[in-house]
Amino acid sequence: MTGASPPAGNGPLPAGGLAQRQAELVAALVAGGPPPAGFAPAPLAATRAALLRKRAGEVARHWPLLAAGLGAGWPSTFAGWAANRPTVGSLRDGWDLARALREQGALPPAGVEELVVRESRLRYDGRSAPRPRRLPAVARAGGAVAVQIAGRVRLLRPAPRPPAARSAGGDGVPDAAGSAAWISD
Amino acid sequence: MTGPYGVGIGWRPEIAGFVAELPGLRFVEVVAESVPATGPLPPGLAQLRERAVTVVPHGVRLSLGGAEPVEPARVAHLAAVAQRVDAPLVSEHIAFVRAGGLEAGHLLPLPRSREAVDAVCANVARAQADLPVPIALEPIAALVDWPDDELDEADFLTEILDRTGALLLLDVANLHANARNRGTDPLALLDRLPLDRVGYVHVAGGAEHSGFYHDTHTDPVPPAVLELVGALCARRRPPALLLERDGDYPPAAQLRAELDALAAAANFPPVT
CA distance A137 to B44: 36
* Residue in B with minimal Cα distance to A4: B152
A31 lies within 8 A of chain B by CB: yes
CA distance A92 to A99: 10
Q: Which of B102, B119, B149 sits opposite A26 (nearest CB)?
A: B102
The total of structural domains in chain A comes to: 1
pLDDT (0 to 100) of residue B66:
97
Query: B164, B236, B167, B245: which is closest to B200 by C-alpha?
Result: B167
> Is the predicted pLDDT of residue B170 greater than 90, yes or no?
yes
User: What sign results for the dihedral spanned by CA atoms B73, B76, B82, B85?
Assistant: negative
Chain B positions touching A7 (Cβ under 8 A) are 149, 152
pLDDT (0 to 100) of residue B231:
98
At A156, the amino acid letter reads: L
Q: Does B272 fall in a domain?
A: no
Chain-chain contact of A18 with B145 (C-beta, under 8 angstroms): no
Chain B positions touching A38 (Cβ under 8 A) are 146-148
Residues 6+ apart with CB under 8 A from B118: none
pLDDT (0 to 100) of residue A160:
86
Q: Which of A10, A47, A55 sits opposite B143 (nearest CB)?
A: A47
Chain-chain contact of A26 with B214 (C-beta, under 8 angstroms): no
> Is the predicted pLDDT of residue A62 greater than 90, yes or no?
yes
Chain B positions touching A3 (Cβ under 8 A) are 152
> Is the predicted pLDDT of residue A173 greater than 80, yes or no?
no
Query: B109, B119, B118: which is closest to B68 by C-alpha?
Result: B119
CA distance B174 to B214: 9
A28 lies within 8 A of chain B by CB: no
Task: Quote the DSSP letter at residue B185.
Answer: -
Percentage of chain B exceeding pLDDT 90: 96
Task: Quote the DSSP letter at residue B211.
Answer: T
Chain A positions touching B105 (Cβ under 8 A) are 30, 51, 54-55, 58, 87
Chain-chain contact of A43 with B212 (C-beta, under 8 angstroms): yes
Chain B positions touching A49 (Cβ under 8 A) are 209-210
Rounded to the nearest integer, the mean pLDDT of chain A is 82
Averaged pLDDT for residues A159-181:
49
A106 lies within 8 A of chain B by CB: no
> Is the predicted pLDDT of residue B222 greater than 60, yes or no?
yes
Averaged pLDDT for residues B197-201:
98
* Residue in B with minimal Cα distance to A87: B103
- Mutate one of A5, A18, A61, A84 to test the B interface: name it (highest B CB count within 10 A): A18
Percentage of chain B exceeding pLDDT 70: 100
Identify whether the C-beta of residue B216 lies closer than 8 Å to the C-beta of residue B177: no
The C-alpha of A184 sits at a distance from chain B's nearest C-alpha, in angstroms, of: 19
The total of structural domains in chain B comes to: 1
pLDDT (0 to 100) of residue A168:
44
CA distance A32 to A36: 11
**C-alpha R_g of chain A:** 21
Q: Does A9 fall in a domain?
A: no
Of A90-104, A168-182, B22-36, least confident by mean pLDDT is: A168-182
Q: How far from each other are the two terminal CA atoms of chain B, in whole angstroms?
A: 22
SS3 B244: strand
Rounded to the nearest integer, the mean pLDDT of chain B is 96
> Is the predicted pLDDT of residue A94 greater than 70, yes or no?
yes
Chain-chain contact of A6 with B210 (C-beta, under 8 angstroms): no
Averaged pLDDT for residues B68-86:
97
Q: Which of A3, A17, A29 sits opposite B67 (nearest CB)?
A: A17
A8 lies within 8 A of chain B by CB: no
Identify whether the C-beta of residue B205 lies closer than 8 Å to the C-beta of residue B217: yes
> Is the predicted pLDDT of residue A97 greater than 60, yes or no?
yes
A87 lies within 8 A of chain B by CB: yes
Averaged pLDDT for residues B244-249:
92
Range of the domain at B78: 6-266
Q: Does B61 fall in a domain?
A: yes
Chain-chain contact of B150 with A50 (C-beta, under 8 angstroms): no
Chain-chain contact of B104 with A30 (C-beta, under 8 angstroms): yes
Chain-chain contact of A2 with B192 (C-beta, under 8 angstroms): yes
SS3 B2: coil
CA distance B227 to A5: 29
Identify whether the C-beta of residue B194 lies closer than 8 Å to the C-beta of residue B188: no
For A71, left (φ over 0), alpha (ψ -120 to 50), or beta? left
Chain-chain contact of A21 with B145 (C-beta, under 8 angstroms): no
Query: A99, A104, A108, A119: which is closest to A159 by C-alpha?
Result: A108
Q: Of how many residues is chain B composed?
A: 272
pLDDT (0 to 100) of residue A150:
81
Q: Which of A6, A20, A42 sits opposite B150 (nearest CB)?
A: A6
Tell me, letter by letter, the H, E, C secondary structure of chain A: CCCCCCCCCCCCCCCCCHHHHHHHHHHHHHCCCCCCCCCCHHHHHHHHHHHHHHHHHHHHHHCHHHHHHHHHHHHHHHHHHHCCCCCCCHHHHHHHHHHHHHHCCCCCHHHHHHHHHHHHHEECCCCCCCEECCCCEEEEECCEEEEEECCEEEEEECCCCCHHHHHCCCCCCCCCCCCCCCCCC
Identify whether the C-beta of residue B185 lies closer than 8 Å to the C-beta of residue B153: no
For residue range B90-144, what is the model confidence (pLDDT) as tens digits?
Answer: 999 999 999 999 999 889 999 999 999 999 999 999 999 999 999 999 999 999 9
Give the other-Cβ count within 10 Å of B33's Cβ.
16
Range of the domain at A124: 26-162
CA distance B38 to B59: 17
Query: B46, B216, B203, B152: which is closest to A4 by C-alpha?
Result: B152
Identify whether the C-beta of residue B56 lies closer than 8 Å to the C-beta of residue B138: no
Chain-chain contact of A22 with B154 (C-beta, under 8 angstroms): no
Q: How confident is the model at residue A15 (pLDDT cuts 50, 70, 90)?
A: low
Residues 6+ apart with CB under 8 A from A176: A65, A68, A69, A71, A108, A110, A168, A169
Q: What is the ipTM of this complex?
A: 0.94
Q: Does B55 fall in a domain?
A: yes
> Is the predicted pLDDT of residue A21 greater than 60, yes or no?
yes
> Is the predicted pLDDT of residue B56 greater than 70, yes or no?
yes
- Mutate one of A26, A30, A54, A87 to test the B interface: name it (highest B CB count within 10 A): A26
Chain-chain contact of B106 with A54 (C-beta, under 8 angstroms): yes
Higher pLDDT, residue A162 or B54: B54
Higher pLDDT, residue A184 or A107: A107
pLDDT (0 to 100) of residue B1:
56
CA distance A184 to A151: 9
CA distance A115 to A146: 9
Q: Does A167 fall in a domain?
A: no
**C-alpha R_g of chain B:** 18
Q: Does A173 fall in a domain?
A: no
Query: B39, B61, B36, B46: which is closest to B11 by C-alpha?
Result: B46
Give the CATH number, domain containing residue B251.
Answer: 3.20.20.150
Chain B positions touching A32 (Cβ under 8 A) are none
Chain-chain contact of A1 with B68 (C-beta, under 8 angstroms): no
Q: Does A85 fall in a domain?
A: yes
Identify whether the C-beta of residue B165 lies closer than 8 Å to the C-beta of residue B120: no
For residue range A107-141, what is the model confidence (pLDDT) as tens digits?
Answer: 999 999 999 999 999 999 999 999 998 888 888 88
Chain-chain contact of A57 with B247 (C-beta, under 8 angstroms): yes
